[in-house]
Amino acid sequence: MKVVIFAGGRGTRISEESTLRPKPMIEIGGKPILWHIMKIYAAYGHTEFIICLGYKGWIIKEYFANYFLHNADLTVDLANNTTEIHQNNAEPFKISLIDTGLDTMTAGRLKRVLPYTNNEPFMLTYGDGVSDVDINALLDFHKQSGKVCTMTAIQATSRFGVIKMQEDGTIDSFEEKPEESGTWINGGFFVLNPEIKNYLNGDMDPVMWERDPMDALAADSQIAAYKHHSFWKAMDTLREKEELEEMWVKGAAWKKW
């Protein structure tokens, strides 16, 4: 099954890095986070990708067009204009790199790449989040649901510590950044049937996927939530990038390969 990845946004909340390259190309452990996401899917046998490009999309094109050189040991003889490859680390990826517009919103980007999905079910995710979600279990859930769309739902974590106290204000304990707040949020990692085209009518370029299309799916009872209780993390800020780097060194939960 093909995997569509949103990779065209400006990444303004992590501008320390995104002024130089698109957010999905920010590296974790020496590899773009986009590569990590693709490796998650590839671990479950899904190696065909459709990348929605926008801001600085040429950098993503260049990376994959020269992937062989980026990931090989080689000797370049300038005098004789020859290159000797010593060792390479290829991936079994087939990648369609589609320019979906500089300022196009996510619904517009999705609509623009629909022709490349061949009117078949496909998966969709964002180019800045990693998880240890079981892709096979997600697909099974989607098939059983019979819905047009399945969205992986995760429980929001608090950015701050919380105070546990009695009615009179006496503090009993402190809990640093509780892992589960009881609130479920969009964790990406979608599965979509071809009928999704019916929810992308008209000019979608100024429309967010997370607004009108998903609202319409919910109104039609055509979106199901696959509850994921384990690891998930998005990279929105430099601090989160540094946290992911630390996780990678210690043994990343999302590494399935």
Cβ(121)–Cβ(85) below 8 Å: no
- For residue 160, count CB atoms less than 10 angstroms from its CB and return exposed for 0-12, middle for 13-18, buried for 19 or more: exposed
Report how far residue 154's alpha carbon sits from residue 229's, in angstroms, rounded to the nearest whole number.
7
Number of H helices, E strands in the chain: 8, 16
Element (H, E) at 96: strand 94-99
Positions of E strands within 100-183? 122-126, 129-131, 149-155, 162-165, 171-175
Q: Quote the pLDDT of residue 222.
A: 97
Q: What is the pLDDT of residue 173?
A: 79
Collapsing DSSP to helix, strand or coil, 41 comes out as: helix
Instruction: Work out the number of other CB atoms within 10 angstroms of the CB of residue 189.
Output: 26
Confidence (pLDDT) at 161: 64
Mean pLDDT, 10 residues at a time, the chain of 257 residues? 96 86 96 97 98 97 90 91 84 96 97 98 97 98 97 80 75 68 87 98 96 96 96 94 96 94
Q: Where are the domains of the chain?
A: 3-154+188-251
- 233: which strand partners? 130
What per-residue confidence (pLDDT) applies to 182? Answer: 66
pLDDT at residue 33, rounded to an integer? 98
**Top-level CATH class of 3-154+188-251?**
alpha beta
Task: State how far the Cα of 23 lies from the Cα of 149, in Å rounded to an integer.
Answer: 26
Query: Which pLDDT score, from 0 to 100, does residue 181 have?
Result: 58
- Supply the pLDDT for residue 12: 84
